[in-house]
Amino acid sequence: MKWMTFISMVWASVAQANTKTSFMPPAATEIAGQVDNLYAFLLWASLIACVILIGGMIFFAMKYRRKSANDKTAYITHNTFLEFLWSFIPLVIFLFVFGWGWYIYHQMRAMPKEALEVHVYGKQWAWEFVYKSGKASTNEFVVPVNTPVKLIMTSKDVLHSFYIPSMRIKQDVVPGKYSALWFESEKLGDFHVFCTEFCGAAHSLMLGRMKVVSQADYEAWLQENDEGLTLVQRGAKLHNDKGCVACHSVDGSVKVGPTWKGIWGATHQFVDGGSALVDEAYIRESILEPNKHIVKGYPAAMPSYQGQLTEEQLNAMIEYIKTLK
Ligand code: CUA
């Protein structure tokens, strides 16, 4: 009877640790809830084992300590029943945890046949998303709620790793091969996307955002385009959407590359001793052939945007930089 009370008490704590008092990011999928239950079980089982083990050790050390100079240790060889129990009980617990973990992992890795497929590219240092409609976005992507989404991922350069904490999913993104993830969000909202594989200077800035919206909002987003924005507004959007934001600030703060604030009309000094006036031609060259001239004090870390920006987009970015005084 006492054991039953104890077990139900533990289970209540597990359930509670999983809801309001949880220190985990919000769980947005059904599977994420399962992961949290397993994690809470492991945490509590470890805590209880720790108390029993360390508590038992202290208790026995006190109880059987040497009390006088001629206090002799009793002659004990072994206890088969005890030894069987302390092997068998952990075995059962470990097999139980293995089975539970396998059950969850199997659901995570079994890709649904009917899913919204999104192509994901990792590159230094941004995430690119391409939909079947041709819609493309960088660092921010949108998916409908209550819909299975499958991400088909590869890298354009080095190893990255795609991680959405709220979905409890993470997978390496490897150049030269595809990897995949799937999830079905039950919650609306914005969720963090991280790169969790060290991939170079701006790895920690390789941040993305996933917006989970209603089916109608998703359809509307797919139709959205840049029409109606001024050239400067389009430039500001490209700064974010093309991932420039990871390395180039617009407020003067120092990142991997030079800030864009106040560079228009300034003179850039190069590591090879040369210099150039920051004008239209210089900005265009810096975007398309970034390693031709390296600005003093900064690493030669920028990838080329050759073929990734239209002439209109290049002009929009130049117009945007002109306004950053
Ligand atoms: Cu990409 Cu770290």
pLDDT tens string 250-286? 998 888 888 999 898 888 889 888 888 898 889 989 9
pLDDT over threshold 80, residue 7: no
Average pLDDT over residues 176-205: 92
Reported as a pLDDT band with limits 50, 70 and 90, residue 10 is low
Residues 127-152 pLDDT 10s: 999 998 888 888 889 999 999 999 99
The residue whose two tokens read 């240092």 is: 125
Residues 65-106 pLDDT 10s: 888 888 888 888 999 999 999 999 999 999 999 999 999 999
Q: Tell me how many degrees the CA angle 126-149-119 measures, rounded to the nearest 5.
A: 40
Q: What is the Å distance from ligand 1's center to 35 Cα?
A: 24
Looking at the fold, whether 10 and 100 belong to one and the same domain comes out as: yes
Q: Where do the H-state alpha helices sit in 110-184? A: none
Pairing state between β 160-164 and 169-173: antiparallel
| pLDDT given for residue 83 in this prediction | 94
Question: Does residue 208 line the site of ligand 1, with CB under 6 A?
Answer: no
- Start-to-end CA distance of the chain, whole Å, equals 75
State the total domains in the chain. Answer: 3
Q: What is the Å distance from ligand 1's center to 129 Cα?
A: 15
Reported as a pLDDT band with limits 50, 70 and 90, residue 291 is confident
* Rounded Cα–Cα distance for residues 156 and 158 (Å): 7
Looking at the fold, whether 187 and 156 belong to one and the same domain comes out as: yes
Question: Does residue 199 line the site of ligand 1, with CB under 6 A?
Answer: yes
CATH number of the domain at 287, please.
Answer: 1.10.760.10
Residues 153-169 pLDDT 10s: 999 999 999 999 999 99
* Rounded Cα–Cα distance for residues 269 and 296 (Å): 6
| Residue 196 CA, closest ligand 1 atom number | 2
* Residue 124 maps to a domain: yes
Give the end of a domain, one of 182, 201, 223: 223
The residue whose two tokens read 């969000």 is: 185
Looking at the fold, whether 87 and 137 belong to one and the same domain comes out as: no
Looking at the fold, whether 105 and 6 belong to one and the same domain comes out as: yes
Which of the two residues, 229 and 174, has the higher pLDDT score? 174
pTM for the model stands at: 0.69
Task: Give the domain extent around 131.
Answer: 116-223
* Rounded Cα–Cα distance for residues 14 and 8 (Å): 10
Tokens of 111: 């890709």
CATH number of the domain at 217, please.
Answer: 2.60.40.420
Residues 205-239 pLDDT 10s: 899 999 999 999 999 888 877 667 788 888 888 88
Q: Where do the H-state alpha helices sit in the chain? A: 2-18, 30-63, 80-109, 215-223, 231-241, 280-288, 311-323
